[in-house]
Chains A and B, each alone.
Chain A
Amino acid sequence: MTNNRPSGFANPWFQLGLNIICVVLYELLLKSGASATADPSKSWSWTGITGLESPLTWLAIAVIILDLIIWLYVLKYIPLSIAFPLSRLVDVLVPISCWLILKEEISSLRWCGIALVVIGLVIVAKPAARLEERL
């Protein structure tokens, strides 16, 4: 980690927080855009191309691009093996947002599955990020 780390808005840890907010935001926007355009009866609907009819999907694309820029900036200052495990906070925030904001009904079986995935990710995030750095 470099000592001449920018402060304030440019602080990489603050930007990492922004990255997490962006990911949750674009997942919710994509889901809303997809729900607004869902029509499984259409042929080729599995390609998802009809999702582009919703402005929410376009907003999601804008947030994805913004998030990519933020993420590349974060990686300039924080190594992937630290930034990646921290960024996995989204794995907790996304299901909670599904429940609170999208009002999805999440059964206890699904909550248990989500919990197992999150625990598994906590365990593998650091070694997996190390491997990815070398791939």
Chain B
Amino acid sequence: MTWWSLVLILVWLVTFVTGQLCFKRAMELPTGTGLKKRKTISILSAGILLMTISFFLNLGLLQRFDLSYLYPFQGLSVIIISLMAAIILKEKLTLRLIVGTLLITAGVALVSMS
């Protein structure tokens, strides 16, 4: 595991999560015309772009690492979502979220050493 791989893994997860959120946002927007339509299309395009980047990074990483090694890192995406909610929605993290987050982080750390 090099620093470069770690950066690629984090970019893979962040683009995946933000891409998913873009899709969600685009689907929730009311279908309108003109400016509204343009906004929906641009968010949707951003989502497709982010998901494509995430897909190819995943493929590149799978060419280098075992799936059983790489897969547990996906657990971090739940943490990214919780952090984004904490920042954007000013949501306080519950004890339950913090304990789970620490376990996932510890687990990923063990996997990365294996």
Given A33-B59, A48-B58: A104 and B114 interface contact (C-beta under 8 Å): no
User: How many residue pairs bridge A and B at CB < 8 Å?
Assistant: 170
Q: Could you tell me if A120 and B104 are in contact, using CB atoms closer than 8 angstroms?
A: yes
Nearest CB to that of B25 among chain A residues?
A: A135
Q: Could you tell me if B72 and A131 are in contact, using CB atoms closer than 8 angstroms?
A: no
Does B35 reach chain A (CB closer than 8 Å)? no
Q: Kindly identify, within residues 49 to 76 of chain A, every residue whose CB is under 8 Å from any CB belonging to chain B.
A: 49-51, 57
Chain A min CB distance to B44 (Å): 14
What is the size category of the interface that chain B forms with chain A? 35 or more
Given A104-B66, A117-B75, A135-B84: A124 and B101 interface contact (C-beta under 8 Å): yes
Residues on A close to B: CB < 8 A?
27-28, 30-31, 33-35, 37-40, 45-51, 57, 91, 94-95, 98-99, 102, 104, 106-107, 109-110, 112-125, 127-128, 131-132, 134-135
Residues on B close to A: CB < 8 A?
4, 8, 21, 24, 55-64, 66-69, 71-72, 74-75, 78-79, 81-82, 84-85, 88-89, 91, 94, 96-97, 99-114
